[in-house]
Structure 1
Amino acid sequence: MGTVTERFKKNGKPSYTAQLRKKKKGKVILNLVETFPSQRAAENWLKNQERALKKPGALDRAVNAKRRKDVSACVQDYIESSPDGFGSSKSQMLSYFQRLPFGEAEMETLAAEDFVRLATDLLNGVQARPTDPELDTPEHYSFKPRKPQTVNGYLVTLGAVIRFGGPIAGVEMPLAEYEQAMRTLRHQKIVTKSAKRDRRPSLTELNKLMDHFAKRYQENPRCVPMHKIVPAAIFKVHRRGSILSQLWDDYDGEYGELTVRNLKHPRKTEGNDKVLTIRQEAMAIIDSMPRIDERIFPYHEDTITRLFTEACKLLGIENLKFHDLRHEGISRLFEIGLKIHEVAEVSGHEDWGSIKRYTHIKERGDKYEGWEWWPIVTSPLPVK
Structure 2
Amino acid sequence: MATIRTRKLASGKVSYTAQIRVKREGAQVYQESQTFARKQAAQAWVRKREAELDQPGAIDRANRTGATVKEMIERYMVEMGKARAMGKTKLATLKAISESYLGQVNDQDLNCQVLVEYAVWRMGPEGGGVLPQTAGNDLAHLGAVLSIARPAWGYEVDPNAMGDARKVLRKLGYNMRSRERDRRPTLDELDRLLEYFQSIQDRRPTSINMLKMTAFALFSTRRQEEITRIKWADLDAEGSRVLVRDMKNPGQKIGNDVWCHLPSEALAILQSMPKTVDVIFPYSAESTSASWTRACKFLGIIDLHFHDLRHEGVSRLFEMDWDIPRVASVSGHRDWNSMRRYTHLRGRGDAYANWKWLDIVVKAPVKLGALTLK
Question: Structure 2-normalised TM-score?
Answer: 0.71
> 1:173 offset after TM fit, Å?
2.8
> 1:157 offset after TM fit, Å?
3.2
Matches within 5 A, 1:225-244: 225-244=209-228
> 1:269 offset after TM fit, Å?
1.1
**Alpha-carbon contact 2:311-2:342 (below 8 Å) kept:** no
Q: 1:71 aligns with which of 47, 63, 69?
A: 69
For residue 298 of structure 1, what is the aligned residue in structure 2?
A: 282
Counterpart Cα distance in 1 of 2:344 and 2:307: 20
> 1:301 offset after TM fit, Å?
1.2
For residue 330 of structure 2, what is the aligned residue in structure 1?
A: 346
Residue 242 of structure 2 aligns to a residue in which SS? strand
Matches within 5 A, 1:174-323: 174=158, 178=162, 181-183=165-167, 185=169, 192-323=176-307
**Alpha-carbon contact 1:86-1:269 (below 8 Å) kept:** no
Could you tell me which amino acid in structure 1 is paired with residue 68 of structure 2? D
Counterpart Cα distance in 1 of 2:304 and 2:77: 34
What's the C-alpha RMSD, in Å, of the aligned pairs? 4.0
Counterpart Cα distance in 2 of 1:321 and 1:113: 35
Counterpart Cα distance in 2 of 1:80 and 1:206: 39
Structure 1 gaps, min length 5: 1-22, 31-56, 127-142
Counterpart Cα distance in 2 of 1:252 and 1:124: 52
Matches within 5 A, 1:52-63: none
**Alpha-carbon contact 1:235-1:329 (below 8 Å) kept:** yes
For residue 377 of structure 1, what is the aligned residue in structure 2?
A: 361
Could you tell me which amino acid in structure 2 is paired with residue 66 of structure 1? R
For residue 140 of structure 2, what is the aligned residue in structure 1?
A: 156
Counterpart Cα distance in 2 of 1:26 and 1:201: 76
For residue 109 of structure 1, what is the aligned residue in structure 2?
A: 109
**Alpha-carbon contact 2:206-2:366 (below 8 Å) kept:** no
Identity fraction in percent: 33
Residue 260 of structure 2 aligns to a residue in which SS? strand
> 1:300 offset after TM fit, Å?
1.3
Residue 88 of structure 1 aligns to a residue in which SS? coil
In structure 2, the CA distance between the partners of 1:75 and 1:250, relative to structure 1 (3 Å rule), is same
In structure 2, the CA distance between the partners of 1:186 and 1:250, relative to structure 1 (3 Å rule), is same
> 1:236 offset after TM fit, Å?
0.8
Residue 383 of structure 1 aligns to a residue in which SS? coil
Query: Cα deviation per residue 1:140-179 (whole Å; 9 max; x = unaligned)?
Result: xxx9886543331221233355466545444553356545
Could you tell me which amino acid in structure 2 is paired with residue 68 of structure 1? G
Counterpart Cα distance in 2 of 1:172 and 1:221: 54
**Alpha-carbon contact 1:336-1:363 (below 8 Å) kept:** no
Residue 291 of structure 2 aligns to a residue in which SS? helix
Counterpart Cα distance in 1 of 2:275 and 2:319: 33
Residue 373 of structure 1 aligns to a residue in which SS? helix
Query: Cα deviation per residue 1:74-106 (whole Å; 9 max; x = unaligned)?
Result: 567878999x96883497379638853644432
For residue 92 of structure 1, what is the aligned residue in structure 2?
A: 91
Could you tell me which amino acid in structure 2 is paired with residue 324 of structure 1? D
In structure 2, the CA distance between the partners of 1:182 and 1:336, relative to structure 1 (3 Å rule), is closer
> 1:119 offset after TM fit, Å?
3.7
Counterpart Cα distance in 1 of 2:203 and 2:361: 17
Q: Which moved more, 1:167-176 or 1:72-81?
A: 72-81
Counterpart Cα distance in 1 of 2:129 and 2:207: 31
**Alpha-carbon contact 1:233-1:326 (below 8 Å) kept:** yes
Residue 258 of structure 1 aligns to a residue in which SS? strand
Matched, 1:330 2:314: yes
Matches within 5 A, 1:112-151: 112=112, 114-116=114-116, 118-119=118-119, 147-151=131-135
> 1:218 offset after TM fit, Å?
0.6
Counterpart Cα distance in 1 of 2:93 and 2:234: 30
Residue 354 of structure 1 aligns to a residue in which SS? helix
**Alpha-carbon contact 2:182-2:342 (below 8 Å) kept:** no
**Alpha-carbon contact 2:150-2:156 (below 8 Å) kept:** yes
Query: Cα deviation per residue 1:103-147 (whole Å; 9 max; x = unaligned)?
Result: 443211235553245446766899xxxxxxxxxxxxxxxx98865
Residue 245 of structure 1 aligns to a residue in which SS? coil
Structure 2 gaps, min length 5: 1-22, 31-49, 51-57, 369-374
Could you tell me which amino acid in structure 1 is paired with residue 284 of structure 2? H
Q: Number of residues paired by the alignment?
A: 319
Question: Structure 1-normalised TM-score?
Answer: 0.69
Q: Which moved more, 1:366-375 or 1:243-252?
A: 366-375
Could you tell me which amino acid in structure 1 is paired with residue 115 of structure 2? F
**Alpha-carbon contact 1:112-1:177 (below 8 Å) kept:** yes
In structure 2, the CA distance between the partners of 1:367 and 1:183, relative to structure 1 (3 Å rule), is same
In structure 2, the CA distance between the partners of 1:362 and 1:260, relative to structure 1 (3 Å rule), is same
Query: Cα deviation per residue 1:195-224 (whole Å; 9 max; x = unaligned)?
Result: 111111111111011111101111111211
